[in-house]
Copies of this chain bind each other. A is one copy, B any other.
Amino acid sequence: MSAQIPDLVASRVSDKAKRQLDIVAKFVEEECIPADPVFEAQIGEGASRWEHHPAIIEELKVKARALGLWNMFLPKGHYKESPGYTNLEYGLMAEWLGKSRTASEATNCAAPDTGNMEVLAKSAFLMTEPDVASSDARNIQLSMRKEGEEYVLNGSKWWSSGAGDPRCKVYIVMGKSDPNNKDPYKQQSVIIVPASTKGITIQRMLNVYGYDDAPHGHGHIVFNNVRVPASNLVLGEGRGFEIIQGRLGPGRIHHAMRSIGAAERALEWMLMRINDPKKTPFGKQLKQHGVILEWVAKSRIEIDAARLVVLNAAVRMDDLGPKASLKEIAQAKVLIPQMALTVIDRAVQAFGGAGVSQDTPLANMWAQIRTLRLADGPDEVHLQQMGRNENRRGAEVTQKIQAQKQKTEQLLKQHGVQLFQPGANIQHKL
């Protein structure tokens, strides 16, 4: 909550946002987290998991609206519904939302809509494809052939998050509209497709470890001669790349902050566990074991460092926009999930069997966050890109260091001294 804002950013958070943050925190802790298991219970079992929406969500939404917690993610200045928060301010709120399975949806801040809201509500974004390395969007294969005033779509998509939800009515689909364009970044377009269009089949939903994430879910969807009016195109033909780039900036920051919230919650569960007076291996409570205390300390350090990294990216986006913040966003994208997985796994280990089971939120949180090391491209792809970017300084630093060495030579002469080299006078060689 507002009392815990890192000092580094405190001065940039408005009083309004601070008040809102306190309300978010209280709402998440007192309303949403207790509602999470109810949500799961209401989803039910079997096929029905995909066919209805838990009533508890609607209750929470009513409460959220009453508290003024709605659409906090909507960027300042772009939408009339926007409550006017900066990326930094919403980032701080997103951390709290990330502690609960229901909180983001209850406040109308749920992914994928935080990325898609520019377009439409209750939508799923369909980009990833099963057969190619689609994290490089140039590899996308779903065909968008123009026929008259329509596009005809053929191909398949998976990891279409949210597609399982009965309320998901619209797909935002990235496809290849101009495969022969010489510029590989102009071959793709994005088009809006009603979910009920003929030729679309939800083939199945994908599991994440053993979780189906119903009713939201991750769809594997097939397009077979799906016809869509050309007027459904977003921005215009060949602008697909542009769209996803604009979309990813804030979304990645939101994901990262929610992951930090998850890590904080895992740490709190771990603290509960290690203070449990019934758990006394070697005759001492877990909190008296040095190894466990070190886990707690490292978790605290790692979470706090990660938060600063994300907030720095958020501030830069606020000041200079997403394009100027690609490096900072990529750092957050890579760093935070790995941190959160480490912290959560420590908590799992502290809990023993309960940690991997349905009795704590830990195993499920771990599985969710594990996908973030893959979503929108695996860590390794981002690291390669970042390595190349950093290496652009290569020639410049080489030149600088060479100049420093030359100046050293001059100074040595000038001062009449030589670098000491051991053994330089070895005489036994002759």
Contacts and interface: CB of A to CB of B under 8 A. Distances in A.
Number of copies: 4
A309 B305 contact: yes
B207 A363 contact: yes
B204 A423 contact: yes
A365 to B, nearest CB: 11
A373 to B, nearest CB: 7
A61 to B, nearest CB: 15
Given A312-B6, A401-B269, A384 B297 contact: yes
B383 A37 contact: no
B421 A204 contact: yes
Contacts of A244: none
A293 interface: yes
Interface stretch (A50-58, A108-116, A232-240): A50-58
19 contacts: A34-B408, A36-B408, A50-B428, A132-B279, A164-B426, A205-B423, A205-B424, A207-B357, A268-B401, A271-B390, A294-B384, A297-B384, A297-B386, A300-B387, A305-B331, A349-B379, A356-B367, A356-B371, A358-B419
Given A373-B349, A426-B202, A305 B304 contact: no
Contacts of A268: 393, 397, 400-401
Given A40-B420, A195-B429, A203-B424, 17 more contacts: A7-B319, A7-B328, A8-B312, A41-B415, A47-B426, A135-B352, A203-B421, A205-B422, A208-B356, A218-B357, A268-B397, A282-B381, A287-B394, A291-B380, A305-B308, A305-B335, A352-B378
Contacts of A320: 7
Contact of A423 (B202, B289, B384, B408): B202
A380 B308 CA distance: 24
Contact of A291 (B50, B202, B294): B294
A-B complex: 8 closest residue pairs judged by Cβ atoms: A210-B210, A293-B387, A205-B423, A204-B421, A34-B407, A210-B211, A290-B290, A297-B386
A207 to B, nearest CB: 5
A204 B420 CA distance: 9
Contacts of A356: 207-209, 367, 370-371, 374
A200 B390 CA distance: 42
Nearest to A200: B429
A180 interface: no
Interface string A291-324: 1111111101100111011011001100110000
Interface residues of A, number: 159
Contacts of A214: 422-423
Interface in A329-352: 331, 334-335, 348-349, 352
Nearest to A405: B34
A127 to B, nearest CB: 12
A316 B281 CA distance: 29
A8 B210 contact: no
Contacts of A136: 281-282
A172 B136 CA distance: 52
B390 A278 contact: no
A217 interface: yes
B429 A358 contact: no
Contacts of A287: 391, 394
Contacts of A47: 423, 425-426
Interface in A243-288: 267-269, 271-272, 274-276, 278-282, 287
Nearest to A9: B8
A128 to B, nearest CB: 7
A292 B290 CA distance: 9
